[in-house]
Amino acid sequence: MSKVFYESVTTNWSSSPKSGKVHGTRNIVRIKNGKGEKTKEALNAAGKVIERKRKTLKNKELKSIVKGQFVPGLWRGCTLKNKC
């Protein structure tokens, strides 16, 4: 496999009108030299990481991402204790 570098970062913010709390989640996919990992992070209101969960990408997921295809269920199994 040729040398490929790919990184995708998505951040989502939500707030609760009743309590005024702000929560965020960040999803990161990184591929470097044929190996990849997916990371899910829970963020507090200041943007600091509260919790982080990392998993390596399966070979099927890796090939689909390199081809630019949608991977259904990519984040299934990457659940955090701090629900955001």
Full-prediction pTM beyond 0.85? no
SS3 content of the chain, % helix, strand, coil (to 5): 10, 45, 45
- Write down the pLDDT at residue 84: 46
Cα dihedral 77, 43, 52, 36 in deg (nearest 10): 70
Cα dihedral 32, 54, 75, 65 in deg (nearest 10): 10
- Write down the pLDDT at residue 2: 58
Residue ranges of domains in the chain: 5-58
Burial (0-12, 13-18, 19+ Cβ within 10 Å), 37: middle
Which residue ranges of the chain lie beneath pLDDT 70? 1-2, 82-84
Cross-strand bridge partners of residue 12: 25
